[in-house]
Amino acid sequence: MSEPQIEPEIIRISWGPQHPMSGQTRILIDVDGEVVHRLIADLGFTHRGIEKILENRTLLQGLIPIERMAMVDTANIGLGYVLAVEEALGIEPPERANWIRSMICEICRINSHLYAFGLQVESTGYFPAVFLWTTVDREVLLDLLERLTGARWSYNFIIPGGVMNDLPEGFQDKVREAVNYLRGRFRQYWEAMVENAVFEMRCVGVAVLRKEDAIRLGATGPVLRGSGVDMDVRKDEPYAAYGDLDFKVITQPDGDAMARLKVRFHEIEQSLNIIEQVANEIPGGPVRVKIPLFPRPKPGEFLSRVETARGELGIHMFTDGGMNPYRVKINSPSLRNMYVFERLAELNRILVADIPVVINSIDPWYLDCDR
Amino acid sequence: MVEALKEAHPELVEDARVLRPRRVSILAKREHLLRLAEILRDEYGFIHPISAGAVDYPKEERIQVIYYLTNPSKRFILTLRVNLPRDEPKIPSMTRVWDAMNFHERETMEMFGIVFEGHPNPVHLLLPPDWRGGYPLRKDFKGEGVKV
Amino acid sequence: MILEAPSLLMKSVLFNLKPLTQIIVIPGLAFILLFAIIVVWFERKLLARAMLRVGPYYCGGRSGVLQLIADFLKLFLKEIVIPQDAHRVLFVSTPIILPTIPALAITLIPFDLDWVLFRAGGLSLPMFFAIAGFSPLIPVFAGWAANNKYTIIGSLRTAFLYISAEIPLVICASAVAIMAGSFDLGRIVESQSTIWFAIPQFIGFIIFFLGLIIEAERTPFDIPTAEVELVLGWRTEFSGILFGFTMMAEYVSFLAWALLFITLYLGGYNGPNILGLPLYSHIFWMLFKLAVLVPIVILIRGVFPRLRMDQLLRLGWYYLMPLSILNLFITLALKLGGIF
């Protein structure tokens, strides 16, 4: 990206990609003293061309690159692709597979929210205690996933036609145990973080995104819901087993960094409820239907929507009768939120010290932005 | 809604249909795209932009640019499309209608070589600023790299 | 006769070579270096517990006590990288000057009525502030010398930070001096033999505690070196042993302000004579109070996020400053009322 001109008396700080807190992106910050004038996001450091790669893979091979889009949130993104493939092939997964899909997706959502939560807390300058707590607690969930799928990351467990395997012996009890443990931990998080006076000072009223702006700028996921809009694909257009599950869409009216944190926090509670429901009420039956190894999709276009941890993901697949998709367009949630981040400095008075807090409350996943 | 739109503005819409429940597709005439976009935003409430992309059809000598929109009260996806000739892919930028199309149009621009007239910041988004290797998502891109 | 020899030797060393002992042992080099090493180790261990980790583990047995020495050696052997555009003389000299300033201030602190390295008499309290007042200048120079955007913002923040903290601190210290009737640190300690000034001057006590954390640039007030936004603030460009010196300066400055805090509010070296010789006992009490104070300050780092610059300035000028003046008036009223 070529750098735009700057006015005199303004320092342009390059925040990232080599920076303790920035991640794989660069943000140009124009500052006048401590006040941020303008934010410019410079993306593309992790551009791998997944859309192009998918054009050169068969439908089933495409499962592997697509899950590399956001490692922490694999299942949700994989599910988005699988839904589009299933629509193209005209197959319906069995009931039990849908419930298992919902459970894995919620485990992934908790994983991802815990990561975002820990990062936002650390970015306030909290000595990284809470970030490490969340890392340790994610271990519980990763163990569950390992038991279920055999891998801790990128397991490709959700496949067209269902899921790979049935739940292992005694898995439901493990799930209940983990859910109870995490509920106890979250009470501690709430006391240590949200009710901490200095943390409140750092997050309340920072980077306010009003409802109209959130809609106009195309925010999605916790960012949009933190501004009081109850858009959630799981409710609007139920996929997997979400039509049968009982959960609430969390919204917060304030639209500041704290509201986004609270949305994530309460969404974790809802996800824990969903996981518990699945463990208790999962119906019996087969978990996958047979599909050919090299399926030929019918020509046409198929647009699937799923709610990932960072917001709405859309996979728009065009097929022309060949074994490979003709084109796959990925509507990534992080890219939409990154634009909101770039505009926040105009809508609010943001100081340099707020930048890490703001960006981690938006929680973009740069691999997802760049694809 | 599709029928209403077709009846109210026949001169703007080339084709409008429901692909499947909750997926509406509108193909705009190229010269009236901006006007149609304003109508969609102001009269039909599509104020929440999702994304923009394109598909390359080299056999038919066209590139289809697609805007993904949604209405926060009705929550279905509307894809607003426009066909462009491959040798002269030029359309007015939608950023003056939907501000948030900024990043998506920049991506479409670098990936397909589409010129968005009136875009506030027409520079590369994901590709390096000195990228001269062609347009990666067009079908004739082979990924062979650039001769230096 | 023979048995008494070691203790006699000890006494003669202590009293005949008093200045040398003071320089080398306490409150001199050995004390400062040991303090820095032990406190850094302790901090790493304690905060590791808060993070569900074990902390230093391999160096020096399972407790990792020698980790700091290993780190120091590593820093010492590393290459010193000087940025191309930096002002070379200032860049190299500032980190070396930095720890000496608080170390000079420590020489004014009485460990016993006679055990003061630098006798400034009635000038000792103002002199402490005069010496310590230099310390914000060095980061400003260092940040400017490194010629980097992060360091410049960091050094400007340092200047703001110290100005907003130091004025309330001076006012609080003068309230203490009024109460004791002297600017002499030794006299201040002696007048606390019945009651510690922490009790009659409770507001000043709290303000000085906050000020101590601000002056030592520790969380929640480590704004100039805020890692998440400014990499390491004004320290960003330092490498190798130069970085080691800046880290050490942080702890030496912490030590200086903690010792002053103990002297002004926690009764200094006063305490029951438990070691026989009053001198030993006094030094013991000084160290004991330090050992109680340090973990409290360290734990604060584990439980609070960092404040923002504007929030710190508001704290300094809206709250600490008026409260310290209020404290001054209360002290005057107590003094004129004849209670003290």
Instruction: Kindly list the averaged pLDDT for each block of 10 residues, start to end, along chain B of length 148.
Output: 68 72 79 81 83 86 87 83 83 84 87 84 82 79 63
Interfacial residues of B (vs A; Cβ cutoff 8 Å): 19, 22-23, 47-51, 53, 55-56, 66, 68, 72, 75, 77, 79, 98-100, 102-104, 107, 121, 123-129, 136-137, 141, 143
Record: contact A44-B128, CB cut-off 8 A: yes
In Å, how far is C218's CA from the nearest CA of chain A? Answer: 11
Token digits of residue C182: 């002297």
Task: Give the pLDDT score at B78.
Answer: 84
Burial classification of residue C156, based on how many CB atoms lie within 10 Å of its CB (0-12 exposed, 13-18 middle, 19 or more buried): buried
C43 in A contact zone (CB under 8 Å): no
C310 in A contact zone (CB under 8 Å): yes
Q: B66-104 in b/e burial notation, b at 16+ Cβ within 10 A?
A: bbbbbbbeebbbbbbbbbbebeebebbbbbebbbbbbbb
- Stated pTM of the model: 0.83
Token digits of residue B121: 């910041």
Q: How far is CA C197 from the centre of its chain?
A: 19
Q: Which residues of A touch B23 (CB under 8 A)?
A: 303
Task: Give the pLDDT score at C340.
Answer: 61
Cβ contacts below 8 Å, chain A against chain C, sum to: 87
Task: Give the pLDDT score at A237.
Answer: 83
CA torsion A20-C236-A193-C211 (nearest 10°) is 180
Record: contact B123-A331, CB cut-off 8 A: no
Q: Indicate whether C97 pLDDT > 60.
A: yes
Whether the bond between A17 and the residue before it is cis, its omega within 30 degrees of 0, is yes
Token digits of residue A328: 């796959």
Cβ contacts below 8 Å, chain A against chain B, sum to: 91
Q: Indicate whether C60 pLDDT > 80.
A: no
Burial classification of residue A329, based on how many CB atoms lie within 10 Å of its CB (0-12 exposed, 13-18 middle, 19 or more buried): buried
Record: contact A314-B51, CB cut-off 8 A: yes
For chain A, 371 residues long, give each residue's pLDDT as a single digit of tens.
556 666 667 788 888 788 877 778 888 888 887 788 888 888 888 888 888 888 888 888 888 888 888 888 888 888 889 988 888 888 888 888 888 888 888 988 998 888 888 888 888 877 667 788 888 888 888 888 888 888 887 788 888 888 888 888 888 888 888 888 988 888 888 877 778 888 888 888 888 888 888 888 888 888 888 888 888 888 888 888 888 888 888 888 888 888 888 898 888 889 998 888 888 888 888 888 888 878 888 888 888 889 888 888 889 888 887 888 888 888 888 888 888 888 888 888 888 888 888 888 888 888 888 88
Record: contact A34-C229, CB cut-off 8 A: no
Contacts for A221 with CB less than 8 Å, ≥ 6 apart:
A307, A308, A309, A310, A311, A312, A333, A337
User: Which residue is listed with tokens 């008396």?
Assistant: A9
Best probe of the A interface among C164, C214, C228, C309, by most A CBs < 10 A, is C228
Spatial contact of A288 and A163, defined as CB atoms under 8 Å apart = yes
Distance CA A133, CA B78 (A): 43
A142 in C contact zone (CB under 8 Å): no
User: Which residue is listed with tokens 């459970």?
Assistant: A103
Task: Give the pLDDT score at A215.
Answer: 87
Best probe of the A interface among B22, B26, B50, by most A CBs < 10 A, is B50
Q: Which residues of A touch B103 (CB under 8 A)?
A: 335-336, 338-339
Record: contact A52-B143, CB cut-off 8 A: yes
Distance CA C253, CA C256 (A): 5
Q: Which of residues 198-237 of C touch A (CB under 8 A)?
A: 219-220, 222-223, 226-231
By C-alpha distance, the chain C residue nearest A128 is C51
Q: How many residues does chain A have?
A: 371
Mean pLDDT of C20-38: 78
Decide: B and A in contact? Rule: 3+ Cβ pairs under 8 Å.
yes
**What are chain C's partners, defined as 3 or more CB pairs within 8 angstroms?**
A
Distance CA C26, CA C32 (A): 8
Decide: A and C in contact? Rule: 3+ Cβ pairs under 8 Å.
yes
Q: Which residues of A touch C304 (CB under 8 A)?
A: 126, 196, 198
Record: contact A339-B100, CB cut-off 8 A: yes
User: Which residue is listed with tokens 């106009």?
Assistant: A216
Q: Which residues of C touch A33 (CB under 8 A)?
A: 156
Task: Classify residue A350 as left (phi > 0), alpha (psi -120 to 50) or beta.
Answer: beta
Record: contact A127-C47, CB cut-off 8 A: yes
In Å, how far is C95's CA from the nearest CA of chain A? Answer: 23
C309 in A contact zone (CB under 8 Å): yes
Q: How far is CA C51 from the centre of its chain?
A: 26
Least confident of C154-158, C162-166, C279-283: C279-283
Helix (H) or strand (E) holding C285: helix C278-303
AA identity, residue A368: D
Task: Give the pLDDT score at C1.
Answer: 46
Q: Which of residues 289-328 of A touch C (CB under 8 A)?
A: none
Of A21, A132, A136, the CB nearest to C228: A21
Strand B48-57 and strand A311-319: the pairing is: unpaired
C85 in A contact zone (CB under 8 Å): no
C273 in A contact zone (CB under 8 Å): no
Q: Is the ipTM of this complex over 0.85?
A: no
Local structure of residue C224 (DSSP, 8 states): G
User: What domains appear along chain A, each with residue ranges and CATH number?
Assistant: 49-336 (1.10.645.10)
Q: How far is CA C187 from the centre of its chain?
A: 21
Q: Indicate whether C297 pLDDT > 70.
A: yes
pLDDT in tens, A319-337: 887 888 888 888 888 888 8
Q: Indicate whether C262 pLDDT > 50.
A: yes
pLDDT in tens, A103-118: 888 988 998 888 888 8
Mean pLDDT of C235-258: 87
Residue of A356, A257, A353 whose CA lies nearest to A20:
A356
By C-alpha distance, the chain B residue nearest A217 is B100
Record: contact A126-C47, CB cut-off 8 A: no
Of A15, A128, A351, the CB nearest to C51: A128
Packing angle, helices C240-265 and C149-180, rounded to 10: 20
In Å, how far is C186's CA from the nearest CA of chain A? Answer: 38
What are the angstrom distances between the C-alpha of C10 and each of C4, C269, C298? 10, 22, 36
Task: Give the pLDDT score at A2.
Answer: 55
Q: How many residues does chain C have?
A: 340
Of A11, A121, A124, the CB nearest to C149: A11
Record: contact A338-B137, CB cut-off 8 A: no
3-state per-residue secondary structure call for C105-170: HHCCCCCCCCCCCCCCHHHHHHHHHHHHCCCCHHHHHHHHHHCCHHHHHHHHHHHHHHHHHHHHHH
Which sequence spans correspond to the domains of chain B?
A: 2-117
Packing angle, helices C149-180 and C321-336, rounded to 10: 10
Record: contact A327-B47, CB cut-off 8 A: no
- List strand residue ranges (DSSP E) for chain A, in order: 11-15, 26-32, 35-42, 158-159, 162-163, 300-308, 311-319, 327-331
Q: Which residues of A touch C225 (CB under 8 A)?
A: none
Spatial contact of A50 and A345, defined as CB atoms under 8 Å apart = no
Mean pLDDT score of chain C, rounded to an integer? 82
Record: contact C308-A199, CB cut-off 8 A: no
In Å, how far is B23's CA from the nearest CA of chain A? Answer: 8
Q: How far apart are the first and last CA of chain A?
A: 17
Record: contact A132-C52, CB cut-off 8 A: yes
Angle at CA B10, nearest 5°, toward B9 and B15?
A: 110
Q: Across-strand partners of A308?
A: A311
In Å, how far is B137's CA from the nearest CA of chain A? Answer: 6
| Dmax (CA) of chain A | 69
Record: contact A34-C310, CB cut-off 8 A: yes
Spatial contact of A114 and A137, defined as CB atoms under 8 Å apart = yes
What are the angstrom distances between the C-alpha of C27 and each of B27, B134, C112, C261? 83, 71, 11, 16
Task: Give the pLDDT score at A54.
Answer: 87
Of A1, A215, A314, the CB nearest to B47: A215
Q: What count of other Cβ atoms lies within 10 Å of the Cβ of residue C15?
A: 11
Record: contact C229-A15, CB cut-off 8 A: yes
Of A47, A336, A339, the CB nearest to B127: A47
Output phi, psi for A327, to 5 deg: -160, 140
- CATH homologous superfamily for the domain B2-117: NADH:ubiquinone oxidoreductase Nqo5 subunit (3.30.460.80)
Of A231, A329, A339, the CB nearest to B103: A339
**Residue C72 banded pLDDT, cuts 50, 70, 90:** confident
Q: Which residues of B touch A2 (CB under 8 A)?
A: 123-124, 129
Mean pLDDT of C87-112: 86
Contacts for A264 with CB less than 8 Å, ≥ 6 apart:
A113, A116, A117, A222, A363
